[in-house]
């Protein structure tokens, strides 16, 4: 006799209109913030066993926007993202660990500039809700700090007073709202 096992896993697609992928890095004395406007991804969320969940996100490197066209052009160049040769940044989860009811450590392979490294995103489940049109939604926020040099992003300029123009640590933040994927 075979027993059917009910599943609580739902595959969600990121709703780009209600989500963002941002970053910040020190530049001289302050922090520069930017965003990527072109991204997509899926979240296979297991409500009963979140540790079985999966995350897969792709970001188009050329969509970088720091609100300064000259800087954005430099960031797209071979000095940084080299978007002609490495057009996509990816994150694919390899492990989800529950830290509290609505907090998770989502570890995965982050690929930037053709270099893949393990990264852990500190992630918060913000909840689920139905929008006014009856669509079920789920929302998460996630953040990690990475060293850009670990991904081959080594360009910098020395300052007369010592130190360098661009900091090494980059904080990556995701605010994601997702809807059940259409099959």
Looking at residue 166, its pLDDT comes to 67
CA 31 – CA 54 distance, rounded (Å): 32
How far lies 73's CA from each of 4, 70, 85, 137, 173, in Å?
55, 5, 15, 35, 22
Which of the residues in the chain have pLDDT under 50? 3
The reported pTM is 0.88
Q: For residue 145, what pLDDT is reported?
A: 96
Residues pairing with 45 in the sheet: 10
pLDDT at 158: 59
Give 88's strand partners. 60
Q: Give whole-number Cα distances, 171 to 32, 44, 118, 146, 154, in Å.
A: 11, 25, 15, 6, 16
The answer regarding whether domain 19-180 maps to CATH 2.60.40.10 reads: no
Q: Residue 35: count other Cβ atoms within 10 Å of its Cβ.
A: 15
Locate the domains of the chain by residue range. Answer: 19-180
What is the pLDDT, as a whole number, of residue 165?
A: 61
8 A C-beta contact, residue 144 and residue 172: yes
The pLDDT, as a whole number, for residue 152 is: 83
Give the per-residue pLDDT at 6: 54
């Amino acid at each position: 006799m075979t027993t059917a096992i009910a599943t609580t896993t739902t595959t969600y697609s990121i709703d780009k209109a209600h989500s963002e992928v941002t970053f910040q890095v020190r530049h001289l004395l302050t922090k520069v913030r930017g965003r990527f406007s072109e991204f997509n991804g899926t979240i296979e969320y297991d409500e009963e066993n979140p540790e079985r969940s999966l995350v897969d996100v792709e970001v188009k490197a050329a969509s970088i926007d720091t609100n300064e066209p000259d800087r954005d052009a430099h960031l797209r160049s071979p000095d940084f993202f080299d978007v002609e040769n490495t057009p996509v940044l990816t994150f694919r989860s390899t492990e989800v660990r529950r830290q509290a009811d609505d907090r998770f450590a989502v570890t995965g392979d982050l690929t930037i500039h053709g270099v893949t490294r393990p990264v852990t995103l500190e992630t918060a489940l913000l909840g689920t809700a139905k929008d006014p049109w009856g669509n079920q939604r789920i929302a998460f926020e996630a953040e990690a700090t990475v060293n850009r040099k670990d991904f081959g992003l080594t360009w910098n300029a020395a300052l007369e007073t010592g130190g360098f123009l661009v900091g090494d640590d980059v904080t990556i933040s995701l605010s994601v709202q997702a809807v059940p994927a259409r099959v």
